[in-house]
Structure 1
Amino acid sequence: MVIYIDILLIENFIINLFLLLITLKALRYKYYKTVYIASIVGSLYTLVLFMDNKILASLPFKIIVVLLMVMISTKNYKLLKNIKSTIAFIIMSFTLCGFSFAFSMIDNYYSIFSDFTINDYSIKYLLISIMGLYVVIVRVIDYLRDRALINNFIYDIEISNEKNTLFIKGLLDTGNALREPVTNLPCIIIESTFLENFNIKSNEEFSIPYRTIGEDGNLKGFKTNTVRIRGEDEEWKVVEVILCKCKNKLSKENEFNALLSRGVI
């Protein structure tokens, strides 16, 4: 029997990814892109079949590998939660094995008076194709859901003074309650590169104290003539706010360049 290692690894990668996704979906656990790394780890573990090592092929070691895959996928290190996920993964694996065995009996003769041998399994690639299709559909649905959620919180922002007018996208940060303490005006944090044309005198600047987990400090802010915001399918609304500069990039994909505190809306 000829075994192609590359095909074996690819098939096991798809199966592991399929099992991880349905397991975490069933448990309603959040997973990350590292689920692909976890699937690769599980796929590489298949190479143990070619080694004469009873320890690596033992049941406890298999459970450890599954536990590692779950931890990589969820980035969660709570023992009880990971044990629950591991048990669910194993149950899903046994269920899939049962289905696979049932389908194998279609292509292979079975008799209680003789040993059962799988000589042909033409439906295998159909099952793997279905798993691959499920993985693609889940990824597309997750992407569209995330995009729809983000779009609901994206606002158009127009900032203008005597000389300049700026149009940018801003994300409403519902957990952000930043306000300037004297005027009690809400703040909009904007990437500093977009405010280079707005010349602000030092006596016109505001100092806004902020505090986050493990960090605190002061932001420099200013007011300008007109700031308008507009949500999706909404009319422009003039708001009175303090604009704060931020040196960091707010979105890796450049989907927005400002953060609105909840007091702006």
Structure 2
Amino acid sequence: MVVYIDILLIENFIINLFLLLITLKALRYKYYKSIYIAALFGALYTLIIFMDNKILVSLPFKIIVVLLMIIISTKNLKIIKVLKSSVVFILMSFTLCGFTFAFSMIDNSNSIFEKFSINKYSIKYLIISVMILYIVSVRVTEYLRDRNLLNNFIYDIEIFNGKKSIFIKGLLDTGNALREPVTNLPCIIVESDFFNDLELNSNNEFLIPYSTIGEDGLLKGFKSKDIRIRGEDKKWRNVEVILCECKNKLSKENDFNALLSRGVI
């Protein structure tokens, strides 16, 4: 029998990813993009069939591989959750094996007086296609849900700068209560690139103390009345805030370039 390693790895990657998704979805556990690494790790493990090593093919070692796949997917080291996920993963695997074996009996004749062998399995690719469809639909659904949730907290910000207006996108950070202590005005943190286009008056400069987990310091800010924001209601309203400069990129995907404290809203 001829075995194509690339096809073997691709098929096992899809199956592992499918099993990991339905396992973690069933348990409602959070998983990360590392789930693809876990699925690939499980696929690479199938290459041990070409090795004559009884330890690697033993049941304890297989269980260790499952545990590692769960840990990689969830980035969780809590023993109870890892063991629970692993048990459900193994049960899902057994169910899938029984399901696929039942279909293999349809494609191959069998008799109680002869040994059973699988010579053809035409429905295999149909099953794999269903798995791919499930994986894609889950990913698309999660992406659309995350985008929709993000859009609910995105605000349009217009900053008047003399004869010029600057438009940026701001994310409402509900856990951010940053205010300038003297004026008690809320703050909008803006990426430093946009400050290059602003003509700011040094007389309105403030130093705002801030504190986060493991870090504290001072933010340079400027008072401005020529700012208005627009949310879901599509109505512009003027706000009096302190603009604070941020040297870091706030969004890798460039979805927003500013952070609004809840006091702005």
TM-score range, shorter chain: over 0.9
Q: CA deviation at 1:184?
A: 1.3
Q: Hey, what does 1:79 align to over in structure 2?
A: 79
- Residue type at the aligned position of 1:126: L
Unaligned runs of 5+ in 1: none
Between the aligned partners of 2:225 and 2:197, the Cα distance in structure 1 is: 14
Report which stretch shifted further, 180-189 or 109-118. Answer: 109-118
**1:124 and 2:117 aligned:** no
Deviates more, 1:108-117 or 1:28-37: 108-117
Q: Show the 5 A alignment for 1:43-192.
A: 43-192=43-192
Tell me the TM-score normalised to structure 1 length: 0.96
Aligned to 2:229: 229
Identity, in percent, stands at 75
Distance 2:122 2:200 in 1: 72
Count of residues paired in the alignment: 265
1:3-34 per-position Cα deviation (integer Å, ceiling 9, x unaligned): 11110000000000100111111111111111
Query: Retained in 2: the 8 A contact 1:164–1:197?
Result: no
Q: Is the 8 A contact 2:158 2:228 kept in 1?
A: yes
Paired residue type of 2:92: M
1:199 match: secondary structure: coil
Q: Deviations over 1:117-156 (max 9, x none)?
A: 1111111111011101111111111111111111111100
What TM-score does the superposition give when structure 2 sets the normalisation length?
0.96
Q: Aligned partners of 1:240, 1:27: CA distance in 2, in Å?
A: 46
Whichever residue aligns with residue 247 of structure 1, its letter is K
Letter aligned with residue 182 of structure 1: V
Equivalent residue of 2:167, what SS? strand
- The separation in 1 between residues aligned to 2:219 and 2:119, in whole angstroms, is 71
Offset at residue 201 of structure 1 (A): 4.2
Q: Which one-letter code corresponds to 2:229 in the other structure? A: I
SS in 1 for 2:184: coil
The equivalent residue for 2:31 is: 31
1:215 equivalent to 2:215? Answer yes
AA matched with 1:255: D
Correspondence for 2:259 = 259
The whole-number CA distance in structure 1 between the counterparts of 2:161 and 2:59 is 70
Tell me the C-alpha RMSD between the 2 structures: 1.2
Q: Which residue of structure 2 aligns with residue 3 of structure 1?
A: 3
